[in-house]
Structure 1
Amino acid sequence: MFYWGRKGVLHIKQTIEELKSYQPERTSKPDHHDFWSQTLSEAKKKPLRAKLTDLNYPIKQITAYELTYHGFDETPIHAHYILPKEHNEKLPCLLFFHGYSMSKHSVSNYMQWLIQGYAVIAVDCRGQGKSGDFSSYTSDSLGTWVTKGILDKEEYYYRKVYTDGVRAIDFACSRPEIDPDRIGVIGGSMGGGITLAVAALDDRPKLAIADMPNMCDIPLAIEQKFEGSLTFVEKFLHQYPEHIELVYENLTYFDNLNLSESITCKTRISQGLKDLICPPMPAFGVYNLITAPKSMEIYPFTAHDMSMVEHVDKTIEFVNENL
Structure 2
Amino acid sequence: MALTDLTLAECQTYRPELAVPSDLDDFWARTLGADEPGPAAYEPVDTGLTQIRTFSVTVPGYAGEPVHGWLHLPAYAEGPLPCVVEYLGYGRGRGLPHEKLFWAAAGFAHLIMDTRGQGWSAAPGLTPDPHPYPAGTVPGFLTRGVTHPDTFYYRRLVTDAVRFARAAREHPAVDADRVAVTGISQGGGLALAVAALFPGVAAAMPDVPFLCDFRRGVRVAGRGPYLEIAEYLKLHRDRADQVFRTLSYFDVAGLAPRATAPALFSVAMMDQVCPPSTCFAGYHRYGGEKELRVYEFNDHEGGEGHHQIEQLAWLRDRFGPGVAAGGGEDRAALSS
Same fold per superposition (TM over 0.5): yes
Deviation at 1:87, TM superposition (A): 2.5
Higher RCO (Cα < 8 Å, 6 or more apart): 2
Q: Deviations over 1:161-193 (max 9, x none)?
A: 111011002211221111110000010011111
**Which residue of structure 2 lines up, in the alignment, with residue 57 of structure 1?**
47
**Which residue of structure 1 lines up, in the alignment, with residue 290 of structure 2?**
294
Deviation at 1:201, TM superposition (A): 0.6
**Which residue of structure 2 lines up, in the alignment, with residue 38 of structure 1?**
30
Moved more, 21-30 or 192-201: 21-30
SS where residue 107 of structure 1 aligns?
coil
**Which residue of structure 1 lines up, in the alignment, with residue 236 of structure 2?**
240
**Which residue of structure 1 lines up, in the alignment, with residue 58 of structure 2?**
68
Residue type of the alignment partner of 1:172: A
Contact persistence 2:39–2:167 (CA under 8 A): no
Contact persistence 1:306–1:312 (CA under 8 A): no
Residue type of the alignment partner of 2:31: T
Q: Deviations over 1:126-166 (max 9, x none)?
A: 11231111222213432421111101100111111111011
Q: Deviations over 1:10-65 (max 9, x none)?
A: xxxx932221111112311111110011111114x2x3252222211111112111
Q: Deviations over 1:66-112 (max 9, x none)?
A: 11122112321110011112122201111111110112333333322
Q: Mapping of 1:211-250 within 5 angstroms?
A: 211-250=207-246
Contact persistence 1:263–1:292 (CA under 8 A): yes
Q: Deviations over 1:242-300 (max 9, x none)?
A: 11110011110000121001111011110110000000001111211223100111011
Matched, 1:174 2:166: no
SS where residue 265 of structure 1 aligns?
coil
Aligned length: 313
**Which residue of structure 1 lines up, in the alignment, with residue 3 of structure 2?**
3
**Which residue of structure 2 lines up, in the alignment, with residue 160 of structure 1?**
156
Matched, 1:24 2:20: no
**Which residue of structure 2 lines up, in the alignment, with residue 93 of structure 1?**
83
CA distance in 2, matches of 1:210, 1:140: 31
For structure 1, list consecutive stretches of 5 or more residues without a partner in the other structure: 5-13
CA distance in 1, matches of 2:3, 2:232: 30
Instruction: Calculate percent identity across the aligned residue pairs.
Output: 29
2:103 is aligned, of 102, 113, 129, to 113
1:123 is aligned, of 113, 127, 135, to 113
SS where residue 233 of structure 2 aligns?
helix
SS where residue 297 of structure 1 aligns?
strand
**Which residue of structure 1 lines up, in the alignment, with residue 254 of structure 2?**
258
CA 1:92 to 1:42, structure 2 compared with 1: closer, same or farther past 3 Å? same
Contact persistence 2:43–2:56 (CA under 8 A): yes
Structure 1 consecutive aligned stretches of length 4 or more whose deviation exceeds 6 Å: none
SS where residue 281 of structure 1 aligns?
helix
SS where residue 94 of structure 1 aligns?
strand
SS where residue 180 of structure 1 aligns?
strand
Moved more, 129-138 or 210-219: 129-138
CA distance in 2, matches of 1:152, 1:81: 34
Contact persistence 2:34–2:63 (CA under 8 A): no
**Which residue of structure 2 lines up, in the alignment, with residue 134 of structure 1?**
130
For structure 2, list consecutive stretches of 5 or more residues without a partner in the other structure: 120-125, 320-336
Q: Which has the higher helix share?
A: 1
Residue type of the alignment partner of 1:152: H
